[in-house]
């Protein structure tokens, strides 16, 4: 007798950025607007964006989980990262000017302003909870996602999701499978084979949950060039959460 996957699982965990929400515009746009707001000429978007990628990688390597283990305050972690982003792009501002720019950037990214919610996110989460599934979020993000950003976008604990595992709060981040073990524990000590993770990164959202025995599926919302490689490697790849809902209800 064939069964649906939905009848076999008790928990669904989801990645956040790229899966439930997306950045509006480019990161460089926000950094440039912040510089303009204090009367500076707009820095080169592309260079700032590249600078940010390098600076973020440096910080994440030296002080993972937003400084969790080294007890660096969130604000200080981001201040260093933002300053390095500008420096690597060739912009070095005096302390007072930088402070104004940084305050603007930090408050923008601590709000829902730079993000938009995919139209199928809220319906999918509510549907999953209505089926009696425990719904969790697993994200390499800091506490402001949980406390400010997600609720401001209409994703609330208790109506759209039941628990969150955020790397900046827990001190463990994807692709470390421990973050998924922690999620199963939070879900009420659910067995890995009774859980499904949905995300958009093969390295962070597919390989680690599969390695501990969970089900996993990947979303390819933006027609990524790598999606075919994911399929070739055996991953289920779907265009969005509406398709994921149908897939969960189809007989395997």
* HSE (side-chain half, CA atoms, 13 Å) at 185: 7
Q: What kind and span of H or E run contains 137?
A: strand 134-139
SS3 171: coil
| Three-point CA angle 211, 216, 219, nearest 5° | 135
Distance CA 158, CA 166 (A): 17
Tokens found for residue 240: 């969005």
Whether the model pTM is above 0.85:
yes
Indicate the SS3 state at residue 55.
helix
Question: pLDDT for 211-233, tens place per residue?
Answer: 999 999 999 999 999 999 999 99
Domains along the chain with CATH numbers: 5-23+116-249 (3.40.50.1000), 27-110 (1.10.150.720)
- Tens-place pLDDT, residues 7-55: 999 999 999 999 999 999 888 899 999 999 999 998 998 999 999 999 9
Which residues, in sequence order, are CB contacts of 104 under 8 Å at separation 6+?
33, 34, 37, 38
């Amino acid at each position: 007798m064939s069964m649906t996957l939905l009848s076999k699982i008790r928990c669904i965990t989801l990645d956040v950025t790229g899966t439930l929400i997306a950045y509006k515009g480019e990161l460089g746009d926000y950094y440039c607007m912040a510089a303009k707001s204090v009367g500076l000429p707009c820095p080169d978007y592309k260079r700032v964006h590249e600078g940010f990628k390098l600076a973020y990688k440096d910080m994440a390597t030296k002080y993972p989980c937003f400084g969790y283990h080294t007890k660096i305050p969130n604000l200080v972690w981001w201040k260093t990262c933002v300053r390095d982003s500008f420096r690597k792009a060739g912009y070095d501002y005096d302390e007072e000017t930088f402070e104004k720019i940084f305050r603007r950037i930090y408050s923008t990214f601590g709000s829902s302003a730079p993000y938009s919610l995919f139209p199928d996110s809220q319906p999918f989460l509510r549907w999953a909870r209505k089926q009696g599934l425990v719904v969790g979020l697993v994200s390499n993000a800091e506490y402001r996602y949980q406390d400010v950003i997600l609720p401001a976008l209409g994703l609330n604990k208790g109506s759209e999701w039941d628990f969150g595992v955020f790397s900046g709060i827990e001190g463990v981040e994807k692709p470390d499978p421990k973050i998924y073990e922690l999620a199963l524990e939070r879900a009420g000590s659910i067995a890995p084979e009774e859980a499904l993770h949905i995300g958009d990164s093969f390295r962070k959202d597919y390989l680690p949950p599969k390695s501990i025995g969970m089900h996993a599926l990947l979303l390819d919302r933006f027609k990524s060039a790598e999606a075919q490689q994911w399929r070739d490697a055996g991953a289920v790849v779907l265009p969005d959460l509406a398709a994921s809902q149908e897939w969960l209800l189809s007989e395997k």
